[in-house]
Structure 1
Amino acid sequence: MARRLTQQDIARMAGVSQTTVSLVLNNRADSEVRISPETRQRVLRVIRETGYIADPAARRLAEGRNRILGVFTYEAVFPATSADFYHPFLVGIEECAEEVGCDLLLFTSARVTGQRRRIFNEDSRVRLADGCVLLGRTVDRDDLARLIADQIPFVSVGRRDDAGGPVPYVGADYVAATRALVERAARLGHRRLVYVGTGEGAESTADRFTGFQAAVTGLGVESVQVRPDRPGLLEAVRATGAGAAFFEEQADAVVFMQAAAEGGLAVPEDLSVVTLGSATRPVRTDTDFAGFLIPRREMGRRAVELLTKVLETGGTPQELLPCELIEGSTLIGR
């Protein structure tokens, strides 16, 4: 079997140094090494005549890149089923990584600190990857701050508040989607609404509540908030006198629907129900909820696209993708 040609061989045949061959192969210039057009053409001619193909691993090392993108998840997402909340994100991430010619490294050795996974610990391997995609309902702010301070390229799936500096992210526009659903309810004659959720915590949760509050204020409709974990949720919602209930978490709406059926409350005849996104907890339901779809697959794809942009040109890209509104069968006029 013939020995594989090396850059040293090409340098000897062209009568130049190996550094010159490397600079020509990578189409780079060096302030200390000036390459004349004639020398460059001589090197390229030897490469053509010998059929030399640069070792891709060596070229990546020369570029300072491994073409490996890390994926860190704050919740366990692997293996994921088709019904899992995180599955579409992972599908989008994998699709785009394949298109840009990168391998994925799923960080699974992160130890739990307190009640949460953390990126940084004594065994952290985050620097093995060129950059990292962060995935989770909530992301640790100390982790974000250190990623920014250590200048480790990353993109978060989901909008994140600043953490010692702006955070690069691709998120869903929950504010606009929630506002649009409140406006739809108002057009159908609903003048009193109930928001079933905490309205606090993760940015995605706060954004939903922000959109709800902005819409009811602008429309001049009445609203009240009920926490989903309170005892007697069905009676608490009934007591508000609202004609439509907006559920922050679809899984809570599914449980509520079961209680409503048992308690003699007809949906949507007695109470319209709107859900603000897909269920983040595993539930089974055949209900065609009015609400919106989170562009999860596209968010995963776009996160990889933005990460490659960060690696190539730097910057702190921030994007919000629109959600698709669903008419459903659980929201009707009063």
Structure 2
Amino acid sequence: MVVTIKDVAKKANVAPSTVSRVIADSSRISEKTKKRVRKIMDELGYHPNMNARSLANQTTQAIGLVMPSSAGKAFQNPFFPEVIRGISSFSHIKGYSLYMSTGETEQEIYEGVVKMVQGRRVDGIVLLYSRIDDPVIQYLIEQQFPFVLIGKPHQSTGEVTYIDNDNYLAGRELTEYFISLGHKRLAFIGGSPDLMVTKERLAGFKEALKLADLPMSDDYIVYMEFLREGGERAVEQLLSLEQPPSAIIVTDDLMALGVLSTLTEKGYAVPDRISVASFNNVIFSEISCPPLTSVDVRIFQLGYEAAKSLVEKIESPELPPKSILVPYKIVKRQSCKEYLEG
């Protein structure tokens, strides 16, 4: 037999409307009453009808996730499952489900967002990337639709709530670490140049070289997709130079895995001949060969804070935009070594 809201109300000796307010976590109900009613709900095995609640409240109790590319490509990179785990963790606490949108092209991604917004399929959106001149962000601002960005916005920073690391400073500090080891020929392998994470980390890389009065050559800067194959192609390009770099900074661990395997294949011992460091500190960084020096950007926390900020915007639309910087840490492992000329 299906347990109804009236059954819960009867056993708890409260009105059905009180049970409804407990389900909605209304501030009008005391914590003591909430605790008692929820205990009875558990005892009776009562589960709220979320569809009915959504219709009544004009909400979906769903959060939209927008990926930077197709799911097939994105989920090859451990960053995305981990950031979604963080989003899911907070969403579960607040009773929100997740609705994912992907596309093969920027146009398909944009159209997917329009469908989510116009079809009222979600109450808010988390963008899992930040791109230069992204029409999606402009559209969401124009529609006054709740959204949060993981990454730094290219423009309209005062109008957008975003969660990020200080990627400029992280890029600079990682480069300075290599310089402290005596490296003078440093290369940078980034993702797409229109992604803000690439732009910010590259800016930090360039600033560190400038401060150390070291030359910077465009030949030492390569852009590829955030995939293992991207790292493989990038390092092959660098090794074809007349004077290959002695150290390589890679903006993503999955790309770095391709870099390490290609260097080994070509007979370049890491770190004896070339040092390598990367970003994200995903699980295989510790078990790669050699273990990879990587910047821990606290991926789970990025997702958790993004979901928390979005739910706040959904529930309190009048809240002003804010930015949250999640701290990072350089985790030093065996892929970097002091460089001695000759």
Q: By the TM > 0.5 criterion, same fold?
A: yes
- TM-superposed CA distance for 1:220, in Å, is 2.7
Contact (CA 8 Å) 1:144, 1:163: kept in 2 or not? no
Residue in 1 that maps onto 2:193: 200
Paired with 2:109 and 2:289, the residues of 1 have a C-alpha distance of 33
- Asked if the contact 2:129–2:150 (Cα under 8 Å) also holds between the matched residues in 1, the reply is yes
Distance of aligned partners of 1:137 and 1:121 in 2 relative to their CA distance in 1, 3 Å threshold: closer
1:125-144 to structure 2, matched below 5 A, reads 127-136=120-129, 138=131, 141-144=134-137
Query: 2 CA distance for matches of 1:79 and 1:220?
Result: 39
Report deviation, 1:140.
Answer: 7.1
Partner Cα separation in structure 2 for residue 106 and residue 116 of structure 1 = 11
Counterpart pick for 1:331 among 314, 331, 336? 336
The DSSP-based 3-state class of the residue aligned with 1:127 is coil
Aligned residue number for residue 45 of structure 1? none
Alignment: residue pair count: 292
Relative to 1, partners in 2 of residues 1:264 and 1:106: Cα closer, same or farther, differing over 3 Å? Answer: closer
2:84 aligns with one of 77, 90, 95: 90
Q: Per-residue displacement from partner, 1:106-135 (whole Å, max 9, x unpaired)?
A: 346x79665655334568655232211122
Offset of residue 85 of structure 1:
3.1
Deviation at 1:233? Answer: 2.0
Gaps spanning 5+ residues in structure 2: where? 7-14, 29-36, 41-47, 223-232
Task: Confirm or deny: 8 A CA contact 1:93 1:303 kept in the other structure.
Answer: yes
1:175 touches 1:211 (CA, 8 Å); kept in 2?
Answer: yes
Q: Select between 208-217 and 263-272 the one with higher mean Cα deviation.
A: 263-272
8 Å Cα contact 1:111-1:121 kept in structure 2:
no
The farther-off stretch of 169-178 and 228-237 is 228-237
Q: Could you tell me which residue of structure 1 aligns to residue 320 of structure 2? A: 315
* CA positional deviation for 1:26: 6.6
Which protein has the larger Cα radius of gyration, Structure 1 or Structure 2?
1
Of residues 200-209 and 318-327 in structure 1, the stretch that sits farther from structure 2 once superposed is: 318-327
Distance in 2 between the 1:296 and 1:133 partners?
14
Q: Note if contact 2:280-2:298 (Cα within 8 Å) is conserved in structure 1.
A: no
Confirm or deny: 8 A CA contact 2:67 2:74 kept in the other structure.
no
SS of 2:159's partner is coil
* TM-score, normalised by the number of residues in structure 1: 0.70
Secondary structure of 2:140's match? helix
Where do residues 254-293 of structure 1 align in structure 2 (5 Å cutoff)?
Answer: 254-277=257-280, 285-293=288-296
Task: Return 120-129 or 324-333, whichever deviates more.
Answer: 120-129
Q: Secondary structure at the match of 1:246?
A: strand
- Say which of 46, 64, 72 aligns to 2:66: 72
Q: Is the 8 A contact 2:69 2:104 kept in 1?
A: no
Structure-2 change in CA distance of 1:199 and 1:224 (3 Å): farther
Q: Quick check: 2:101–2:113 contact (8 Å CA) kept in 1? A: no
Cα 1:332–1:164 shift into 2, 3 Å? closer
- Secondary structure, counterpart of 2:71 in structure 1: coil
Q: For the residues of structure 2 that align with 1:259 and 1:213, how far apart are their CA atoms?
A: 25
In 1, Cα distance between equivalents of 2:251 and 2:213 = 21
Residue 158 of structure 1, CA deviation: 2.0
Tell me how far 1:230 sits from its aligned partner: 6.5
Q: Which runs of 5+ in 1 are unaligned?
A: 6-13, 29-47
- Counterpart amino acid of residue 327 in structure 1: K
Aligned-residue offset at 1:303: 0.5
Contact 1:198 1:227 in 2 (8 A): no
Give the letter aligned to residue 127 of structure 1.
Answer: R
Q: CA deviation at 1:287?
A: 3.3
**Aligned 1:132-281 pairs, distance under 5 A:** 132-136=125-129, 138=131, 141-162=134-155, 166-197=159-190, 200-225=193-218, 226-228=220-222, 232-236=236-240, 239-240=243-244, 242-277=245-280
Answer 1 or 2: which has greater helix percent.
2
Pairing of 1:41-52 with structure 2 (within 5 A) = none
Letter in 2 for 1:330: S
Supply the distance in 1 between the matched residues of 2:242 and 2:333 (Cα, whole angstroms).
Answer: 22
CA RMSD of aligned residues (A): 4.1
Report the identity percentage: 22
Give the superposition deviation at 1:264: 3.2
8 Å contact 2:175–2:205 — kept in the other structure? yes
Shift of 1:278: 5.6
